[in-house]
Structure 1
Amino acid sequence: MGKPKSILFPRQQKILNTLGENIKFARLRRDFSSELTAERAGISRVTLYKIERGDPGVAMGAYLKVLFVLGLDRDLLKVAEDDILGRKLQDAKLLPGKRASKTRKPDE
């Protein structure tokens, strides 16, 4: 019995396809062969091929390993760095009329 296949919405799959394509172009710009990249990342060439095709079944760790080899691993830290929607939701919970707690003045 095999592992269940990951099913994504078309928009999600398009994002993964674009990510895979960006990874492939980054590899080619560096003039790295697929063999060299896969070896340095500690993955198989088949897994690298799947990453470059945006396969949702490949573990996030494998994507990270390839990004590391390409010197792009820190780009993942930019994900949700400026969470605009989250901030709006947080601000919406701050009800008007609520006041910040008063701080006591030290006895003089």
Structure 2
Amino acid sequence: MEEGWGNPFITIVNRSDKSIEFIMGEHYPDTVFQFGHSISVGPNDQRDYTYYLSRTKLFKKYPIMQVFAIDTENTTLAIDTIRKYHLYERYELTKKQLEENNWIVVYPKE
């Protein structure tokens, strides 16, 4: 089955005590934080992240998948403030890393 909208792309596990917004970074190798398609995952919870590109198509387009994680309390701040104070965590993941972790991304990084 080809992945895409409506099908899980990755599973995000939030092991923190805060709600976290996860944003797929679409401009690798540009690693500057910006808002885009995102999902919110509550404290000590997990959610499947669906995406418009399949895993196959994404990794044909980019060698690295990047995901940004930001505390939902900070999502109302100006983007320049978020960038200046680095109020996010960035993940750079290869297809091999994701396959080895069963397509699960854990926050905070282990």
Fold agreement, TM-score > 0.5: no
Larger Rg: 1
Q: Which has the higher strand share?
A: 2
Q: TM-score under structure 2 normalisation?
A: 0.27
Q: TM-score under structure 1 normalisation?
A: 0.27
Q: Which has the higher helix share?
A: 1
Which structure's relative contact order is higher, taking Cα pairs within 8 Å and 6+ residues apart? 2
